[in-house]
Amino acid sequence: MRERGWFYRDEEEFRRIHEKLKLTPCPHCHVVGTLILHGYLRGYDDHNRRRKGVRARSILFLAAVTLLDQWLRRYRHQQAQKKTRTPPFPSK
């Protein structure tokens, strides 16, 4: 099976990739609907070192963000529980 390319040549080709992004399965977990457009990678132009431009666009795996958010909420809840616990013996 041929792996789908993630490179584009022009803005029209990128637009087509972007339109299908939510219908594209994740290359790692193969779940559909977890990919979102995230941002840009900027850098210097190959032909003109003084000019900066967009070198790439990043795509984010949304489920990883969701899992991280769930873990962080659980961790904060556990930390709050530790602070509010009463000591086992009454203090004098």
Question: Quick one: three-class SS letters along 15-73?
Answer: HHHHHCHHHCECCCCCCECCEEEEEEEEEECCCCCCCEEEEEEEEEEHHHHHHHHHHHH
pLDDT, position 89: 62
What is the distance in angstroms between the CA of the first residue and the CA of the last residue of the chain? 72
Q: Is 74 helix (H, G, I), strand (E, B) or coil?
A: helix
Structural contact between residues 5 and 24, judged by C-beta atoms closer than 8 angstroms: no
Q: Is 92 helix (H, G, I), strand (E, B) or coil?
A: coil
User: What count of Cα atoms within 13 Å lies in the side-chain half-sphere of residue 31?
Assistant: 9
pLDDT, position 1: 41
pTM: 0.48
d(CA 11, CA 18): 10
pLDDT means per 10 residues in the chain (92 residues)?
A: 63 87 82 82 82 82 70 85 67 57
